[in-house]
């Protein structure tokens, strides 16, 4: 059972910023692809950003406002969110790929992610 722990969510005004983080267990390979997803009430879960050995990949709705990164150990992942909009309000989840050989962000899909955190709520108003 993989335990991913998100933190840093909260309430912020429109145009504000938040930085959320995700701590992965020590046995998660530092090369495994990780990602951020979000789900608003009544909507399907959507990808926000993914990071792999080939760098970050950020989805269009948040590109230029959100930045995904990992620390030196690659066991902690971050999502810096700037210029937040009401439509960014959602539960944000971090995830790690099921197959540790999936190290590149390019071509990866949500079905590749098998380990999920409990989520951290982001509310923008």
pLDDT at 65: 98
| Predicted local distance difference test score (pLDDT) of residue 31 | 84
End-to-end CA distance of the chain: 36
**Residue 43 burial (CB < 10 Å; 0-12/13-18/19+)?**
exposed
* Per-residue pLDDT tens digits of the chain, which is 125 residues long: 678 999 999 999 999 999 999 998 877 777 889 999 999 999 999 999 999 999 999 999 999 999 999 987 878 999 999 999 999 999 999 999 999 888 999 889 999 999 999 999 999 99
What are the φ and ψ backbone dihedral angles of 61, each rounded to 5 degrees?
A: -60, -25
pLDDT at position 26: 78
Question: Residues near 31 by Cβ (< 8 Å), separated by ≥ 6?
Answer: 53, 74, 100, 103
Cα distance between residue 125 and residue 119, in whole Å: 19
In this prediction, residue 117 carries a pLDDT of 94
Q: What confidence score (pLDDT) does residue 1 get?
A: 66
pLDDT of residue 113: 95
Pick the closest to residue 82 from 64, 70, 58, 59 (CA basis): 64
């Amino acid at each position: 059972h993989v335990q991913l722990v998100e933190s840093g969510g909260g309430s912020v005004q429109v145009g504000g910023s938040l930085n959320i983080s995700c701590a992965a267990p020590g046995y998660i390979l530092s090369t495994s692809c990780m990602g951020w997803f979000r789900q608003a009430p009544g909507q399907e879960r959507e990808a926000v950003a993914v990071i792999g050995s080939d760098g970050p990949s950020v989805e269009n709705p948040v590109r230029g406002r959100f930045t995904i990164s990992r620390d030196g150990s690659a066991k902690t992942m971050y999502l810096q969110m700037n210029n937040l909009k009401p439509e960014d309000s959602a539960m944000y989840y971090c995830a790690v790929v099921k197959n540790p050989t999936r190290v590149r962000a390019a071509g990866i899909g949500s079905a590749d992610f098998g380990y999920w955190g409990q989520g951290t709520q982001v509310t923008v108003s």
